C-alpha cells in the first residue's frame, strides 16, 4: 500500500483534513468541520466591527472530528507524517500548561484566540510603528515599514490595555498554528513547544539578525508588561521541515492515528498553499479565500530590496533556503460574501448577471477596502468605496465592480513587487474562489494582463500541510522533492483578452486615482473620475 501524509488546514470558518499519497499527490480522503462557536466560527461584538475572535477548543474538536472521518477504512500506519496550517496572526493567551484561558474567562472575548482579521489593535499597531521609527529600530524594514493591527504584538498590547485581568493571568501567548501542534503532540508547555518561523518572522518581528524577538527595551517602552512577557515567549523559531513532535497517546486514542506519528512544525495556511502550488523564484502564488495571501520566494543568496507595503520578508517562511515574501488583500471572498448578504441574491445569480457585462459597461468603480488594505497601504482603517451608481445600477453590476476592485488590488501588489525588482514571471492561483469562479479568474487575467494558472489541488493549503507531513515523515528528503512529486497545475489557463485588458488599463488608472486620493496623502485631483467612467461606459454601450 502507498504511503500517505495527512494535512490539516485551519481556515477562518472551518478546518479541513486531507489524506494524500506521498508519491503522487493523489487525494484519498477529505473531511471538513465547521467551527461551532459564534457566527460561522467567529466570536463577534456588535459594538465593534473590528473585533473577531475564535474559540480554541473548536480547533481540537475539529482535529478529532475530521481526522477520525478521513481515517475510516484506512490503515493508520500508512500515514508517515502530519502537517498543520492555520490562519495568522491568530495568537491566544495560555496558562503555564499551555491551555487556553477561555475556560477560566468564558465571558471575556480577550481570553479567546484573536483571529487574524481582528483589527481592534489599530491604535496599538500605530503606536508600535511610531516607536520603532522613533527609536530607529530595524524591525519594520522587512514588514513593509508599518506594523499591522492584524499582528501578534498589536493584539497582545491591546489585550494588556483593555483586558488587563486576562493579560495578567496569561503565562504566555501562542500562535494558533503552534498551539495546535502542541496540543496534538502533547508538547503543550509554552516554554518548549515548537514555534513556527513563518508566524514568528512575519507577525512577531522575530529575526536572527537582531537576536530573535524585539528587544526588552523596545517592548518596555511600549508597556513594561510586554518586556516581562518576552521572557515567557521564545528565542527560537524553525521552518516546517522540522518535527514539532509525535501524536500523543490521547489524540491517537481519540482519532485512530498511530501514537508518535510525526507532526511538522506549523505555519500559516497561505504559505503552505504557496508550497503546494509550486512556489519557486518568479512564481507568484495567490491564495484567494476570504482574504488573499500573495506569496513569492527569493533565494537567500541573491540581493533583495526592502519592498514598502509588503507584509513581510522572512528567511525560510515558505521554503527552506529562500526568503518568503508575503503580501495580501484583507478581504476578497469576504467582500463577495458580504455583498450576497447585502443584496439578498446568490453568488450564482450575481455571477450570471455579472458575466453578461463588458468591462467598463456599468460605469462603476469600487475599492476593495471593506476590511482595510493590507498591501500596499498597510492600513486597517480604510473602508470600502463605490462610485458611479445611477438610478439603474443593478446588483450584478456592483458584484462585478467588487470583483474588479479585488483584481485591481491584486495588480497593485504585482506592480509593487516588480517596481522593487521582484519579477513576477507567472501567477498561480489557489483557494476556493480560484477553483470555483471562472469569471473571477478571467477578470484577474484581463486586469493583470497576465495568464492566470490554477493549482491542481482543490485543497492547496491542506496539501501543503501534507507535503510537510511527508517531509518530516521521511517520505521525501526535501520540500522540493515533495513538491515535484505531489503538486501540479491545471490544464486550463485563463489568458488575458486584449480588448478587455485595454479597457481595464484605463479603469485601473481611475482606480489608482481614487486609491491614492483616499489612501495616501496628499490627495490627487479627482474631479475627472466620474466623467471618465461615464465616457467609457457610453463608449462600451455604443451610445452616441
Torsion of CA 328, 423, 320, 140, to 10 degrees: -50
Phi and psi, residue 257, nearest 5°: -70, 160
Among positions 29, 141, 505, 526, the unique one binding its own copies when judged by CB under 8 A: 526
308 burial class (0-12, 13-18, 19+ CB within 10 angstroms)?
Answer: middle
149 binds its own copies (CB under 8 A): no
DSSP assignment letter at 152: H
Determine which residue in the list 386, 489, 501, 505 makes contact with its own copies, applying CB under 8 A. Answer: 386
Indicate the helix (H) or strand (E) that contains 72.
none
Q: Out of 343, 357, 501, 505, which residue is the one contacting its own copies (CB under 8 A)?
A: 343
Q: Cell triple for residue 176? A: 494558533
Q: C-alpha cell of 134?
A: 522613533
Q: How far is the CB of 479 from its own copies (least distance, A)?
A: 35
For residue 275, the SS3 value is: helix
**Which CB sits closer to its own copies, 264 or 288?**
288
Query: How far is it, in rounded angstroms, from Cα 390 to Cα 387?
Result: 9
Cα angle vertex 199, ends 90, 140, to 5°?
Answer: 105
CB of 79 to its own copies, least distance (A): 38
Q: How far is the CB of 41 from its own copies (least distance, A)?
A: 15
DSSP character at residue 214: P
3-state secondary structure of 198: helix
Told to check if 50 binds its own copies by CB under 8 A, we report yes
Find the binding residues for its own copies in span 482-521 (CB under 8 A).
517-521
Interaction residues for its own copies, span 426-455 (CB under 8 A): none
Does 345 interact with its own copies (rule: CB under 8 A)?
Answer: yes
Which residue, 301 or 542, is less far from its own copies as judged by CB? 542
* Stretch touching its own copies by CB under 8 A, among 21-29, 100-108, 211-219, 334-342: 334-342
Q: How far apart are CA 86 and CA 485, in angstroms?
A: 24
CB of 289 to its own copies, least distance (A): 14
> How many whole angstroms separate alpha carbon 293 and alpha carbon 316?
17
Minimum CB separation of residue 147 from its own copies in Å reads 17
CA distances from 437 to 288, 396, 432, 507 (A): 11, 15, 8, 22
Q: Per CB under 8 A, does 523 bind its own copies? A: yes
CA 360 to chain CA centroid, nearest Å: 30
Q: Does 185 help bind its own copies (rule: CB under 8 A)? A: no
Site string for its own copies, 397-416 (x = CB under 8 A): -x------------------
Rule CB under 8 A: choose which of 281, 308, 384, 488 binds its own copies: 384
Cα R_g (the chain), whole angstroms: 23
Contact between 296 and 284 (Cβ < 8 Å):
yes
Q: Is the peptide bond before 484 cis (omega within 30 degrees of 0)?
A: no
Q: Is 390 in the site for its own copies (CB under 8 A)?
A: yes
Among 24, 236, 346, 524, binds its own copies (CB under 8 A): 524
55 neighbors 35 (Cβ within 8 angstroms): yes
Surface-to-core class of residue 343, CB atoms within 10 Å of its CB (0-12 exposed, 13-18 middle, 19+ buried): middle
The number of residues that bind its own copies (CB under 8 A) is 56
Closer to its own copies at the Cβ: 339 or 444? 339
Among 136, 344, 348, 491, binds its own copies (CB under 8 A): 344
State yes or no: residue 306 binds its own copies (CB under 8 A): no
Which residues are CB-contacts of 48 (< 8 A; sequence separation ≥ 6)?
120
Question: Given the complex with its own copies, which of 43 and 276 has the nearer CB atom?
Answer: 43
Segment 153 to 172, residues that bind its own copies, using CB under 8 A: 162
Smallest distance from the beta carbon of 334 to its own copies, in angstroms? 5
Nearer to its own copies, 130 or 520 (CB): 520
| Binding range to its own copies, per CB under 8 A, among 87-95, 331-339, 428-436, 472-480 | 331-339
What residues line the site for its own copies (CB under 8 A)? 47-50, 162, 331, 334-335, 337-338, 342-345, 363, 369-371, 381-395, 398, 517-531, 533-534, 538, 541-544
Amino acid at each position: 500500500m502507498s504511503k500517505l501524509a495527512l494535512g490539516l488546514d485551519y481556515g477562518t470558518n472551518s478546518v479541513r483534513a486531507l489524506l494524500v499519497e506521498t508519491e503522487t499527490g493523489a487525494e484519498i480522503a477529505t473531511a471538513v468541520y465547521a467551527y461551532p462557536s459564534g457566527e460561522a466560527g467567529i466570536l463577534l461584538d456588535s459594538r465593534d466591527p473590528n473585533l473577531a475572535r475564535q474559540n480554541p477548543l473548536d480547533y481540537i474538536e475539529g482535529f478529532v472530528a475530521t481526522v477520525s472521518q478521513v481515517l475510516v477504512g484506512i490503515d493508520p500506519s500508512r500515514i508517515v507524517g502530519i502537517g498543520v496550517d492555520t490562519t495568522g496572526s491568530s495568537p491566544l493567551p495560555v496558562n503555564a500548561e499551555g491551555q487556553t484561558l477561555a475556560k477560566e474567562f468564558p465571558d471575556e472575548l480577550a481570553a479567546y484566540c484573536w483571529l487574524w482579521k481582528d483589527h481592534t489593535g489599530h491604535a496599538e499597531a500605530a503606536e508600535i510603528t511610531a516607536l520603532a521609527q522613533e527609536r530607529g529600530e530595524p524591525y519594520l524594514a522587512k514588514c513593509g515599514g508599518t506594523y499591522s493591527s492584524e499582528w501578534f504584538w498589536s493584539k497582545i498590547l491591546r489585550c494588556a490595555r483593555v483586558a488587563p485581568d486576562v493579560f495578567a493571568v496569561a503565562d504566555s501567548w501562542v500562535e494558533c498554528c503552534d498551539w495546535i501542534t502542541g496540543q496534538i503532540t502533547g508538547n503543550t508547555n509554552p516554554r518548549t513547544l515548537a514555534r513556527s518561523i513563518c508566524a514568528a518572522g512575519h507577525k512577531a518581528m522575530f529575526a536572527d539578525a537582531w537576536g530573535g524577538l524585539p528587544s526588552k527595551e523596545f517592548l518596555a517602552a511600549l508597556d513594561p508588561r510586554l518586556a516581562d512577557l518576552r521572557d515567557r515567549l521564545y528565542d527560537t523559531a524553525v521552518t516546517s521541515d522540522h518535527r514539532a513532535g509525535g501524536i500523543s497517546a490521547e489524540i491517537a486514542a481519540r482519532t485512530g492515528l498511530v501514537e508518535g506519528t510525526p507532526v511538522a512544525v506549523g505555519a500559516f495556511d497561505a504559505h503552505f498553499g504557496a508550497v503546494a502550488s509550486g512556489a519557486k523564484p518568479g512564481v507568484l502564488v495567490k491564495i484567494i479565500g476570504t482574504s488573499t495571501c500573495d506569496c513569492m520566494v527569493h533565494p537567500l543568496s541573491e540581493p533583495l530590496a526592502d519592498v514598502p507595503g509588503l507584509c513581510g520578508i522572512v528567511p525560510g517562511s515558505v521554503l527552506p533556503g529562500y526568503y518568503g515574501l508575503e503580501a495580501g488583500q484583507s478581504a476578497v471572498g469576504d467582500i463577495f460574501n458580504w455583498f450576497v448578504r447585502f443584496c439578498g441574491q446568490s453568488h450564482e445569480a450575481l455571477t450570471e448577471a455579472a458575466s453578461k457585462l463588458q468591462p467598463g459597461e456599468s460605469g462603476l468603480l469600487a475599492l476593495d477596502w471593506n476590511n482595510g488594505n493590507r498591501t500596499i497601504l498597510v492600513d486597517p482603517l480604510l473602508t470600502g468605496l463605490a462610485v458611479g451608481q445611477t438610478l439603474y445600477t443593478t446588483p450584478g453590476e456592483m458584484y462585478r465592480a467588487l470583483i474588479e476592485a479585488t483584481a485591481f488590488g491584486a495588480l497593485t501588489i504585482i506592480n509593487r513587487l516588480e517596481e522593487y525588482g521582484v519579477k513576477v514571471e507567472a501567477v498561480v492561483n489557489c483557494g476556493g474562489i480560484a477553483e470555483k469562479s471562472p469569471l473571477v479568474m478571467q477578470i484577474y487575467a484581463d486586469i493583470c494582463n497576465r495568464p492566470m494558472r490554477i493549482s491542481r489541488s482543490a485543497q492547496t493549503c491542506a496539501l501543503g500541510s501534507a507535503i510537510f507531513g511527508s517531509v518530516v515523515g521521511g517520505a521525501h528528503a526535501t520540500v522540493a522533492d515533495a513538491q515535484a512529486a505531489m503538486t501540479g497545475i491545471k490544464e486550463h489557463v485563463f489568458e488575458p483578452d486584449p480588448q478587455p485588458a485595454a479597457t481595464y488599463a484605463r479603469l485601473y488608472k481611475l482606480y489608482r486615482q481614487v486609491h491614492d486620493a483616499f489612501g495616501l496623502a496628499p490627495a490627487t485631483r479627482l474631479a475627472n473620475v466620474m466623467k471618465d467612467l461615464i465616457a467609457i461606459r457610453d463608449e462600451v454601450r455604443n451610445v452616441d
